[in-house]
Chain A
């Protein structure tokens, strides 16, 4: 094979990468069900340590699984997790597990915790992921640095606890000993210290005033209270001792009870802190030890290796594993291995977290003279992140390890498990700007893009940030846009996802209250959620906008055809029905819709606050908290309000469907008056089908008018744009109003005269405590952001809706994300992209992503040039986020047929399918090998490429 042919046929930059990917895919086609850990392989951490706190037990469980992963005895002596595969340069093996298939992890809850969790919809499996790690600190200081910090904090905490103990003892003695009371009285009378001055000084904490009850371990009242107590004793010691001697009874000494209460609560906070730092220490130490065991394995293999080249590689691997992540990294290889060990530990302990701005993180370690070696190393790293792949979807069912608590949110959301079977919620983001607003593109940006282009792996998800300077800038910026376009064109899988800095940064900074520097440092995580780089704790709520519209049309009920529900399922307020009350015009309908949107945003915003604290009792997160900004400084876990920023997105699905349907109703019911709204609602309810001939005729007419002759989102249509603007504005305003409501109820201390009302509202919202600012300090706030999209849940969401102006049948999938419904774009990409221009998407920090699929045939040879123009146009039109996938309809149809045969057990089809394992498509929230998708999703994907463009 000459060099040229070789370059064309191999995957990745080198033969090593090619063979690693092929070996990975070979494993991926096998039945991997026997590679899962089973509970009997772990010690029962919960049962064995009932006296330890949940956070410590979780840390122990992390240690337990990392130990099991390197235990040679397990899996009949063939532990698939404790191996270094031929040619690997980055080592360690993540356990199987994904968003759709669930996880395997040691039990760490006690029996009573497990029992009570039944009411919480949370379980040990409930860790949410959806956050991003900034590895800069770890690479600079090593985990040893973090452990040292823990030890320093722990010694400080120990000291404080001792002083609190001293104060407790002091109080105890006052309560019990007359001699002691007399001593105090004497000392006070002589102006001497009674033995508590030092303790009161030592427990002092700075900034205690705005730190909140649950976070500060100091109460300034203590000094006055002790002063009051001892003053009282000095004045009354005779009376007290007399009473005690005469009656031998308990004498109520003022101040003492209050002091004891404060001491208990503050010492508890110190205990919590101690538990936190201990857990961080245990977790970090577990990762270091895991790495050490890989150092041993590499060394062992080195001695048996006969190939001198590989022998040297193993020697180097062993050296690196002994060094990182314990110590700071000094080379590119060390940095990558260090990041991978931590990433691996997070993902194997159920924390599906992202890798953040890796081009920024790795650049200090990059050496131009070693470019090729580093390119290969990075591709090795990507393979390690992707190697959990399972390609044969017929094996999914027996690998389903999800439980009731594995859901995404605190309220269960039905998942499309099949589609998510290979989704690990791992993202990398490159480019964009620095915290200072400068161009952040560097050598590693290009290296990472090249790696994705060459390997064509579908995971991790690569995201690229673009800002105006990249469009206007010189050679380097042009090179960046070219590299992105070539990667998109060659890999075809929608990567990198494009994030528009010009829209997302203002969305975070101006519209969501995030400081500008932090906003400039944003990352993408989970599916496509914009959040802050290693400094935010994120959660989200979704609702279905089309359901809100159904409620508006049908008095707070869905347009269900189920007769036992009468009008339909009641989901919101009962509101006047525009089909019944003819005085309600289109504007009236809009006002009713606003009420229902507000119902759903209220529900979302209130529940974000209400459920904020559940995690701490069940899913604490010490390993992630070790690197999450704020936690180490505050001595608090991510789930105890430790993170510097708390973000929560409210994300409705089906905006395009809702607006398409509203526009059709406006045109044909209110403007042209061609149909009665009652008929339209029945047409929706019964999927435009009727057995009655006359009714069917009406339904058919409605369907034609609504589907073929009404404006649709994505066509740059003015009438549609007006309705879209109204809907988007209304949703945004509702989010702001709901946020204010939730803050009034939960966040701010009520004014004295308003206290009763607020306490009552809190009770109604299921919360009995003090305001969260009082509890967590003045800085505490949950920044609620608005976004729009479906992730991969378009099929599931649509399942609950009646037909609409862009869907034939009840239950059909809704439009994907914030993209036009498939088959409703009549013009061009330019029309689609210009549809964003006037929507004010710079308000949507929760992300509003559009998935564009282009037919390979249409792009021809000019692919990269066209893609670059599409990206430029998207940024110019103030788009928020964009994916561009490239598909070949004919090829997808062919693969679908083979998949159907494979699902029917045809072995030959399975063999043939293997040649299509690299075809990856975008599934709303992520990329996925097409061969692994559920049939309905495969079918709908075939229709996705934009309609005939020529």
Chain B
């Protein structure tokens, strides 16, 4: 069986598809949306998390790291990420960290590669519990990047009678979608047209929406994050409405900007360009919702 790389699992979500669901977040995304709240899904040279507040400055990582990534100077723990080979030795030896839990201690890897059947076994107890009131949602990153392996997982789910949803930007080639199509009950398609997005991505997205809508328009829900300065413009809404109407899509979910991702960037030594941006308030969200509803679209705010 193939392997899947994932960076997180949410066991009890009521906002990612119908009912109450397990959400599996797959690693890897070819986009770099500036507001992305999961930079730890990106394949980068040193995906090592370092949460300074949990560090006891014990120096074990300095002693054990084979490539001298860690150093402690004048009581400050510094990282030279260019040397990191993602071996995980520092995490295994860190007294406060757990290799299996990226956010429980000072050091962590967000990303674990697991064989599909093993991953299914991990998910199974909760999927059994939620079977009749929800199912599995696969999100990311972009799950299309691992569509071959993912199709194996979703096939098991279908056999076990578990409802499946895939959340994707749908900006990768159609074959990825074709891999998954037989095993997906519901698609959550991210549409966030903004000034700087790439035209080829946009083109691919429209092609994929067209393809899926021809298959079953009812299986598609559009999702749009409302990012101040990026996607909160009339032209964004117009583009979305036009696409939806052209494809007989009637359901959209709008999500206010999530400002809590900055600490992930910090812990990974990355720059965050939206520092200080405030999420749109309820009134604003309602206004945007009404833009869609007046176009005859069933719009829902998801917090």
> Interface residues, chain A, CB within 8 Å of chain B?
700-701, 704, 708-709, 716, 826-831, 833-834, 858, 860-862, 865-866, 868-870, 872-873, 876, 949-950
Which of chain B's residues 88-145 have a Cβ closer than 8 Å to chain A?
A: 95-96, 98, 101, 104-105, 122, 124-133
Q: Does B14 contact A (CB under 8 A)?
A: yes
Taking CB as reference atom, which chain B residue is nearest A858? B12
Asked whether, in the complex, the Cβ of A831 is within 8 Å of the Cβ of B125, the reply is yes
Q: What is the minimal beta-carbon distance from B207 to any residue of chain A, in angstroms?
A: 34
Bound Cα distance from A558 to B144, whole angstroms: 57
- Cβ contact of B14, chosen from A862, A868, A869, A873, cutoff 8 A: A862
Asked whether, in the complex, the Cβ of A869 is within 8 Å of the Cβ of B133, the reply is yes
**Given A828-B11, A950-B10, A950-B13, residue A865 in contact with residue B129 (CB < 8 A):** no
Chain B residues, Cβ within 8 Å of A828: 11-12, 22, 125-126, 129
Bound Cα distance from A862 to B21, whole angstroms: 12
Chain A residues, Cβ within 8 Å of B105: 708
**Given A709-B98, A950-B13, residue A830 in contact with residue B126 (CB < 8 A):** yes
Q: Is the interface of A mostly helix, strand, loop or mixed?
A: helix
- Interface pairs (20), CB distance under 8 Å: A701-B95, A704-B95, A704-B96, A708-B104, A709-B98, A828-B12, A829-B129, A830-B129, A831-B125, A831-B126, A834-B125, A834-B128, A862-B19, A862-B20, A862-B133, A865-B19, A865-B133, A866-B20, A869-B133, A872-B132
Chain A residues, Cβ within 8 Å of B20: 862, 865-866, 869
Q: What is the minimal beta-carbon distance from B32 to any residue of chain A, in angstroms?
A: 26
Bound Cα distance from A866 to B95, whole angstroms: 37
Bound Cα distance from A872 to B101, whole angstroms: 30
Bound Cα distance from A833 to B128, whole angstroms: 10
Asked whether, in the complex, the Cβ of A827 is within 8 Å of the Cβ of B12, the reply is no
Asked whether, in the complex, the Cβ of A830 is within 8 Å of the Cβ of B127, the reply is yes
Asked whether, in the complex, the Cβ of A827 is within 8 Å of the Cβ of B125, the reply is yes
Chain B residues, Cβ within 8 Å of A873: 128-129
> Interface residues, chain B, CB within 8 Å of chain A?
10-14, 19-20, 22, 95-96, 98, 101, 104-105, 122, 124-133
Taking CB as reference atom, which chain B residue is nearest A865? B133
Q: What is the minimal beta-carbon distance from B222 to any residue of chain A, in angstroms?
A: 22
Chain A residues, Cβ within 8 Å of B131: 869
Taking CB as reference atom, which chain B residue is nearest A708? B98
Chain B residues, Cβ within 8 Å of A868: 133
Chain A residues, Cβ within 8 Å of B130: 830, 869
Taking CB as reference atom, which chain B residue is nearest A701? B95
Bound Cα distance from A876 to B11, whole angstroms: 19
Bound Cα distance from A635 to B74, whole angstroms: 86
Q: Is the interface of B mostly helix, strand, loop or mixed?
A: mixed
**Given A862-B19, A862-B20, A950-B10, residue A876 in contact with residue B104 (CB < 8 A):** no
Asked whether, in the complex, the Cβ of A833 is within 8 Å of the Cβ of B12, the reply is no
Bound Cα distance from A829 to B11, whole angstroms: 8
Taking CB as reference atom, which chain B residue is nearest A832? B125
Chain B residues, Cβ within 8 Å of A834: 124-125, 128
- Cβ contact of A870, chosen from B96, B98, B101, B129, cutoff 8 A: B129
Chain A residues, Cβ within 8 Å of B10: 949-950
Bound Cα distance from A772 to B20, whole angstroms: 57
Chain B residues, Cβ within 8 Å of A827: 11, 122, 125-126
Asked whether, in the complex, the Cβ of A869 is within 8 Å of the Cβ of B129, the reply is yes
Chain B residues, Cβ within 8 Å of A860: 14
Taking CB as reference atom, which chain A residue is nearest B11? A828
Q: A862-B19, A862-B20, A868-B133 are in contact. List 11 more A-B contacts (CB 8 A).
A: A704-B96, A708-B96, A708-B98, A827-B11, A828-B22, A828-B129, A830-B126, A833-B125, A858-B12, A873-B128, A949-B12
Bound Cα distance from A464 to B146, whole angstroms: 46
Bound Cα distance from A858 to B130, whole angstroms: 14
Bound Cα distance from A716 to B122, whole angstroms: 9
- Cβ contact of B133, chosen from A701, A866, A950, cutoff 8 A: A866
Q: What is the minimal beta-carbon distance from A392 to any residue of chain B, in angstroms?
A: 38
Q: What is the minimal beta-carbon distance from B264 to any residue of chain A, in angstroms?
A: 16
Chain B residues, Cβ within 8 Å of A870: 129
Bound Cα distance from A383 to B130, whole angstroms: 37
Bound Cα distance from A872 to B133, whole angstroms: 12
Q: What is the minimal beta-carbon distance from A537 to any residue of chain B, in angstroms?
A: 39
Bound Cα distance from A866 to B126, whole angstroms: 12
- Cβ contact of B125, chosen from A700, A709, A830, cutoff 8 A: A830
Bound Cα distance from A704 to B129, whole angstroms: 32
Bound Cα distance from A598 to B45, whole angstroms: 57
Q: What is the minimal beta-carbon distance from A944 to any residue of chain B, in angstroms?
A: 16
Bound Cα distance from A704 to B54, whole angstroms: 13
Taking CB as reference atom, which chain B residue is nearest A854? B12
Asked whether, in the complex, the Cβ of B128 is within 8 Å of the Cβ of A700, the reply is no
Asked whether, in the complex, the Cβ of A833 is within 8 Å of the Cβ of B129, the reply is yes
Asked whether, in the complex, the Cβ of B132 is within 8 Å of the Cβ of A869, the reply is yes
Chain A residues, Cβ within 8 Å of B95: 700-701, 704
Bound Cα distance from A868 to B132, whole angstroms: 10
Chain B residues, Cβ within 8 Å of A708: 96, 98, 104-105
Q: What is the minimal beta-carbon distance from B19 to any residue of chain A, in angstroms?
A: 7
Asked whether, in the complex, the Cβ of B101 is within 8 Å of the Cβ of A826, the reply is yes
Chain B residues, Cβ within 8 Å of A865: 19-20, 133
Of all A-B residue pairs in the complex, the 5 with the closest CB atoms, nearest first, are: A830-B126, A828-B11, A949-B12, A830-B125, A830-B129
Bound Cα distance from A700 to B105, whole angstroms: 15
Taking CB as reference atom, which chain A residue is nearest B14? A860
Taking CB as reference atom, which chain B residue is nearest A873? B129
Taking CB as reference atom, which chain B residue is nearest A703? B95
Bound Cα distance from A828 to B128, whole angstroms: 11
Chain B residues, Cβ within 8 Å of A866: 20, 133
Taking CB as reference atom, which chain A residue is nearest B9? A827
Bound Cα distance from A827 to B130, whole angstroms: 14
Bound Cα distance from A828 to B21, whole angstroms: 12
Q: What is the minimal beta-carbon distance from B126 to any residue of chain A, in angstroms?
A: 3
Chain A residues, Cβ within 8 Å of B96: 704, 708
Taking CB as reference atom, which chain A residue is nearest B127? A830
Taking CB as reference atom, which chain B residue is nearest A829? B129
Chain B residues, Cβ within 8 Å of A861: 14
Q: What is the minimal beta-carbon distance from B99 to any residue of chain A, in angstroms?
A: 8
